[in-house]
């Protein structure tokens, strides 16, 4: 009986669409005929009043026919329109804005049929940027989040959660997201440092079966120490966890990292991490394929045997930028690495120490029979202890080409930014609220 009613509804909708298409075609044909008549009359002598009336009518008919040109879109099957919408909105796992012109609601405002398609297509709601700012949209945000999660049905979720300080609804938003944690696949957090352990005290997660990527992206004024230990314990129950990224903020103690299943990771990004802690983490990440880090030296709680031998058998990409690196610690760290599968190496000049050729040569020699495809050395203007001091990029590159015959391509130049390197999916897709041009979109 239910199947029969569905068939009848689909048949009725098809007849309705056919009738609407026929009416549009008839109206367009009548408009063309009328337009031809008006153009002919305008070529004849007319009073000023009659000529003005004909020109107004011609303008109306031209506008009507112009709109008719796009009516063929309305005649497309729902599945085709849905695919077109999928090209307009960010493709999962990229995230749409929760509201505004970059959100699915913008398409839903065009017409009733488009609204139905948008609201009934779960994949349009599976990638979300939830930005909690102190603006006039804030009181409605929790409802927007709830509606989006409901519309995404059972699809995996890609979520970016960003919050200003003193946002009263933030704990409620977190609680709502945790109700759907079994569907989390990619999660990026940019949360205020005032968020303490109590904010996650209710989060009892038995398993995160789909979870793959965690990005902690605090801005400079945030301190992630407040939220990491309590929060990271949740990801022990993530058998598919593969990517971890800490950006623009101080990294927590090594003990905090060991709360995570490091042995599962294939991608890791760590900014402003103490060199000894980086070594301790890498020693546990045997499955690592891509690594991007900006290490520095600190003396707060040094790790014992930080530079014991480290072998990463699957690592293909290694990007190491220097930040306040001691010239002795850098070479000692690199001397501990054995990277038999490495294909791309980007390294800051400070990490290479006073004898950069020796450091690079030894590292390449430990790659056994593998050939490095690409080497980039980022120069700095304040490395006074290096053999390369006062040498131009061209001279250094020539010397590298001569000394490192097992490297296919060598480039020397200004150090690059660690951000946007394409190694990870994280905060590169940040669509924010239209703060300066807000509209009250229908829920």
What domain range includes position 65? 17-75
Question: What's the rounded Cα separation, in Å, for the pair 270 and 224?
Answer: 13
Q: How far is CA 205 from the centre of its chain?
A: 24
Position 236 in a domain: no
**Where among 27, 48, 75 does a domain terminate?**
75
Lowest-confidence segment of 34-48, 122-136, 197-211, 421-435 by average pLDDT: 421-435
Is the domain of 109 the same as that of 190?
A: yes
Instruction: Count up the domains in the chain and report the number.
Output: 2
Is the domain of 149 the same as that of 176?
A: yes
**Token reading at 332:** 């000692």
Is the domain of 147 the same as that of 209?
A: yes
Cα distance between the two ends of the chain: 33
Contact criterion met (CB below 8 Å) for 210 and 93:
no
**E-assigned strand segments in 156-288:** 157-163, 184-190, 213-216, 243-246, 267-274
pLDDT in tens, 105-133: 988 887 778 889 999 999 999 999 999 98
Is the domain of 113 the same as that of 177?
A: yes
Is the domain of 102 the same as that of 205?
A: yes
Is the domain of 110 the same as that of 167?
A: yes
Report how far apart, in Å, the C-alpha atoms of 213 and of each of 98, 238, 243, 334, 431 are.
20, 10, 5, 27, 19
Give 72's contacts (C-beta < 8 A, 6+ positions apart). none
Is residue 443 very low, low, confident or very high in pLDDT (cuts 50, 70, 90)?
very low
Is the domain of 102 the same as that of 26?
A: no
Using a cut of 0.75, tell me whether the model's pTM lies above it.
yes
Is the domain of 139 the same as that of 203?
A: yes
pLDDT at 135 over 50: yes
Burial 6-36 (b: 16+ CB within 10 A, else e): eeeeeeeeeeeeeeeeeebeeebeebeeebe
Is the domain of 152 the same as that of 63?
A: no
**Where among 183, 215, 247 does a domain terminate?**
215
- Report the phi/psi class of residue 305: left, alpha or beta, with left for phi > 0 and alpha for psi in -120 to 50: left
Percent share of the chain, pLDDT over 90 = 26
| 305 against 81, higher pLDDT | 81
Rounded to an integer, the average pLDDT of 418-435 is: 44
**E-assigned strand segments in 297-418:** 310-311, 317-320, 337-338, 344-348, 372-379, 407-414
Respond yes or no on whether the N-terminal peptide bond of residue 129 is cis (omega within 30° of 0). Answer: no
Is the domain of 67 the same as that of 108?
A: no
Is the domain of 172 the same as that of 100?
A: yes
Position 254 in a domain: no
Question: What's the rounded Cα separation, in Å, for the pair 233 and 439?
Answer: 39
Is the domain of 107 the same as that of 180?
A: yes
């Amino acid at each position: 009986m239910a199947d029969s009613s569905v068939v009848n509804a689909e048949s009725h909708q098809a007849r309705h669409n056919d009738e609407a298409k026929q009416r549009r075609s008839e109206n367009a044909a009548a408009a063309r005929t009328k337009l031809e008549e008006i153009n002919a009359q305008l070529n004849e002598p007319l009073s000023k009043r009659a000529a003005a009336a004909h020109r107004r009518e011609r303008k109306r008919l031209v506008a009507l026919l112009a709109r008719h040109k796009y009516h063929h879109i309305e005649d497309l099957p729902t599945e085709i329109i849905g695919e077109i919408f999928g090209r307009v909105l960010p493709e999962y796992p990229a995230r749409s804005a929760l509201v505004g012109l970059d959100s699915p609601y913008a398409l839903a405002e065009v017409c009733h049929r488009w609204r139905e398609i948008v609201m009934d297509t779960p994949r349009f709601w599976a990638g979300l940027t939830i930005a909690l700012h102190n603006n006039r949209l804030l009181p409605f945000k929790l409802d927007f989040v709830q509606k989006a999660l409901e519309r995404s049905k059972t699809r995996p979720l890609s979520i970016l959660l960003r919050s200003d300080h003193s946002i009263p609804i933030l704990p409620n938003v977190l609680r709502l997201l945790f109700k759907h944690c079994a569907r989390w696949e990619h999660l990026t957090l940019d949360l205020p440092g005032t968020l303490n352990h109590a904010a996650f005290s209710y989060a009892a997660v038995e398993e995160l079966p789909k979870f793959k990527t965690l990005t902690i992206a605090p801005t400079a004024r945030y301190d992630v120490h407040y939220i990491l230990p309590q929060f990271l314990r949740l990801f022990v129950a993530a058998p598919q966890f593969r990517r971890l990224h800490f950006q623009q903020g101080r990294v927590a103690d090594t003990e905090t990292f060991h709360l995570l299943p490091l042995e599962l990771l294939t991608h890791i990004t760590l900014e402003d991490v103490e060199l000894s802690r980086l070594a301790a983490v890498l020693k546990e990440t045997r499955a690592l394929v891509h690594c991007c880090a900006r290490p520095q030296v600190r003396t707060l709680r040094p790790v014992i045997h930080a530079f014991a031998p480290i072998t990463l058998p699957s690592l293909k990409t290694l990007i190491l930028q220097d930040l306040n690196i001691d010239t002795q610690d850098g070479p000692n760290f690199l001397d501990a690495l054995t990277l038999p599968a490495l294909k791309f190496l980007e390294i800051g000049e400070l990490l290479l120490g006073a004898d950069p050729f020796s450091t690079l040569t030894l590292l390449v020699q430990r790659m056994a029979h593998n050939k490095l495809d690409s080497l980039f050395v980022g120069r700095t203007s304040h490395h006074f202890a290096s053999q390369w001091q006062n040498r131009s990029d061209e001279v250094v590159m020539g010397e590298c080409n001569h000394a490192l015959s097992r490297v296919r391509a060598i480039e020397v130049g200004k150090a690059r930014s660690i951000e946007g390197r394409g190694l990870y999916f994280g905060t590169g897709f940040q669509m924010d609220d239209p703060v300066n041009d807000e509209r009250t979109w229908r829920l």
